[in-house]
Structure 1
Amino acid sequence: MATIRIPEVVPSPVQDSEKLQKAFLGTFFLLSLYAQLISLSLSLSFSISFSDMSKSVCCWFKGLGTDEKAIIRILGRRDASQRKKIREAYHQLYDKSLIDFLFAELSGDFRKAVILWTYDPAERDARLANEALKSKKKNITQLQVLVEIACSTSPHHLVAVRKAYCSLFDASLEEDIISNVSLPLQKMLVRLVSSYRYDKEVVDSTIANTEAAKLHEAIKAKKLDDDELVSILSTRNIFQLRETFQRYKDNYGKSIDQDIMACGKGLFESIMKVMIWCIDSPEKHFAEVIRAAIIGLGSDEDSLTRAIVSRAEIDMMKIRSEYFNVDKNGLDNAVIGDTSGDYKDFLMTLLGAKI
């Protein structure tokens, strides 16, 4: 279900690190050359100005900067465990952080996408969660990131994210939610990120019927922050909840997310819809995130990057199929039409294109 293309023969982490270092060396050469030009222009008199010399140097050595294509070929075609080994090997070889070098050498949306991809997945999600919580805007675009992490990943990954968050930001994820999100949404989000759901496929049909009735009663009364509703949605295993959602639809004629959105169009209702989708059909949610990022008034590159980077190793094939069901133009064509340059090439590499 992943879309990244890992080579049949994967170079060693040391070989990959050496190639990455070589990809950076062009920039180091130019910086050194410019430094020498500055020194020369200050100590000697030339008929040609320093500005003219700079233009000449740029012409002579055009293309000697960072080799972005090499970075895409290497990092864009390695899985999480391979990228971890590359980070470790790079640090051992050069006593420098690969992430720091990527930050210094790249720019714009391309830089953000490559760095997010290069991070350990738990650290990446911890940083995305912190960015969402510290944002001045607390709308659906920001806060749905927390729901994605809590409801569309494994319980083990969620624990790893919480540990990484504490290590990176000297506070727990729960503490920062309480500090930055108001009630009643605060209560729901804290319960979600604190949960450790059973991850085996165990379903009890009787419980599904009973809890579908409880959910319907709370939603009908528009008590979306009801303690029992929050408890059911934040603690039951994913397979049990999917059965409960199906019983809800069978018994009451509408899907649970439809009834939730009938309660209102506020942030709480929108977050609950995202939660239902991330539990029941994550590919549907992420296809919608990508579609909204592309078709809006001005692209939302952050959301587009997050969706592709975070799901390329998990279920991007399903997301691609779901996207096609909604937009017959297809995901690949949508990304190609909405992005450009190295950023486009990197996203397309994660989507499995042969760049």
Structure 2
Amino acid sequence: MKSFKKLFTSKSKTHSPESSFKIGGMGSLKVLDVIPSPEEDSEKLKKAFQGLGTDEDEIIQILGHRDASQRKKIRETYQNLYNESLIDALNSELSGDFRTAVILWTYDPSERDARLANGALKSKKKGVKQLEIIVEMSCASSPHHLVAVRQAYCSLFDCSLEEAIAASVSMPLKKILLGLVTSYRYDKELVDMDVANLEADRLHEAIKTKELAHDDVVYILSTRNFHQLRTTFECYKKKYGNPFDKDITKSGKGDLESLLRMVILCIDSPEKHFAEVVGTSIIGLGTDEDSLTRAIVTRAEIDMMKVRGEYFNIYKSNLDDAVIGDTSGDYRKFLVTLLGGKI
């Protein structure tokens, strides 16, 4: 549980056959072909909370097979039917990492990321690991999602995300993060080769002079659309022999270098970044449940199929098997459900 504890302030079992699920896009989430009404889902959830014990399987079966818009309708309907927040009910009925994962999943994605960012910024230790979520929502999500997160942050915490970063993160990380979160990138595929060549040169100059937080670097990384930046990184590699992120690593191994490498990876290959997040969280002694939960919950509807492929490329093992081997109980069941598998 660790840093997520502060994020939350409340039996019949029906199992549908595998053939009745559909998967959208590159996400791993399996959604029912025919969705019960929000009223029916709400009533089943209420029943799962009542009685002698909580019916965790029913909660997993319902929430683990609904997309963001369907979960929103369930939250609203549950509130209207029972005059109680579904999040509060889950908080009251569940526990441990299972509770953390289910609640993060049940939130609207923009509110979830706003709460995760707030938890990161309130953390006493604010190294690169703690600030990952801010880079992810700025560089591995759509510009519209970032705007929605910033709006949610203002509503929830009575200050802007920018104010919170400025007040709690030290330079030069503050400069990079403020550039990223205030960005509103163009989100269509548009590339100017002249700009890519020119800005590859500017990035190389920053490497040569060891001025990685130079205004030019912040400007390029925080304003250009993702397609343009990927082309710029390609130009850099062709001109100077190494990928830009490799040259950054050669410049040093401090927090600035680590943060910039993460920014570049999230822009260039978000699926590789999240594969590394999962790998780092489960390989070695102990499990970093916070990072594992965040990676699966935030990408299950976006690109988890790609993350799975990258995980195999990096670690030569199956992501699903790794998650199953490193988790247990209802927490494992829920993560595996979001991964599109069965326990």
**Fold shared by both chains (TM-score > 0.5):** yes
**Aligned residue in 1 for 2:159:** 171
**Aligned residue in 2 for 1:215:** 203
Matched, 1:24 2:24: no
**Aligned residue in 1 for 2:259:** 271
- How big is the alpha-carbon RMSD for the aligned residues of Structure 1 and Structure 2? 0.7
Q: Which structure has the greater CA radius of gyration? A: 1
**Aligned residue in 1 for 2:326:** 338
Structure 2 residue corresponding to 1:317, chosen from 305, 317, 323:
305
* Residue aligned with 1:23, SS: helix
Q: How many residues align?
A: 318
Deviations 1:158-193 (A, max 9, x none): 000000000101110000101100111111100100
Q: 1:273 deviation in Å?
A: 0.4
**Aligned residue in 2 for 1:235:** 223
Matched, 1:4 2:13: no
Greater CA drift, 113-122 or 288-297:
288-297
Deviations 1:229-277 (A, max 9, x none): 1101110000000000001011100000000111111111100000000
**Aligned residue in 2 for 1:45:** none
**Aligned residue in 2 for 1:256:** 244
Q: 1:91 deviation in Å?
A: 0.6
TM-score (norm 1): 0.89
Matched, 1:327 2:315: yes
Structure 2 residue corresponding to 1:144, chosen from 114, 117, 132:
132
Question: One-letter code of the match for 2:152?
Answer: A
Q: Distance in 2 between matches of 1:143 and 1:266?
A: 14
TM-score (norm 2): 0.92
For residues 40-189 of structure 1, what are the structure 2 equivalents within 5 Å? 64-189=52-177
What is the identity percentage for the equivalent residue pairs of Structure 1 and Structure 2?
68
Q: Distance in 2 between matches of 1:281 and 1:300?
A: 22
Q: Which runs of 5+ in 2 are unaligned?
A: 1-25
Q: Which runs of 5+ in 1 are unaligned?
A: 27-63
Q: 1:327 deviation in Å?
A: 1.8
* Residue aligned with 1:296, SS: coil
Question: One-letter code of the match for 2:320?
Answer: D
More helix by share: 1
Deviations 1:268-301 (A, max 9, x none): 1100000000000000000000000001331100
Q: 1:144 deviation in Å?
A: 1.4
Q: Distance in 2 between matches of 1:177 and 1:222?
A: 24
List, as ranges, runs of 4+ consecutive aligned residues in structure 1 with deviation greater than 6 Å. none
* Residue aligned with 1:347, SS: helix
Q: Distance in 1 between matches of 2:332 and 2:208?
A: 45
* Residue aligned with 2:251, SS: coil
Q: Distance in 1 between matches of 2:208 and 2:281?
A: 32
Structure 2 residue corresponding to 1:303, chosen from 261, 283, 291:
291
Q: 1:134 deviation in Å?
A: 0.5
